Amino acid sequence: RTCDQLRCTACDFRVSLYNDYKWDPSCDYLFFRNNMPDLNKLRAKMIRKKGSRAYACQCSWRAVDELTDLQTEQQLRWACGKH
């Protein structure tokens, strides 16, 4: 289970998540800054991978394929946006 209401405290964007995708290694800050949250533009750097989940806000991104505690990631400023 994961929180589906994550919000970034750095850029104040809602964190989007995409099941069965990962981010292309060439993704960078400007790509997300210019394209979030437009899924049609984001697809250019999404790679289909069953069992993975791609997360992104306007300033940070991650792809995970196993249970991961995002609180241990010091660079991420994602918090539960409350349910």
Domain ranges of the chain: 6-64
Measure the CA–CA gap between 59 and 76, rounded to whole angstroms: 9
Question: Whole-prediction pTM value?
Answer: 0.86
Could you identify the residue written with the tokens 């589906």? 4
Could you read off the pLDDT of 8-20 as tens digits, one per residue?
999 999 999 999 9
Q: Which two tokens stand for residue 79?
A: 């918090």
Q: Which two tokens stand for residue 20?
A: 């069965």
Q: What angle do CA 50, 37, 53 make, to 5 degrees?
A: 20
Could you read off the pLDDT of 31-57 as tens digits, one per residue?
999 999 999 999 999 999 999 999 999
Query: Three-state DSSP class for 2?
Result: coil
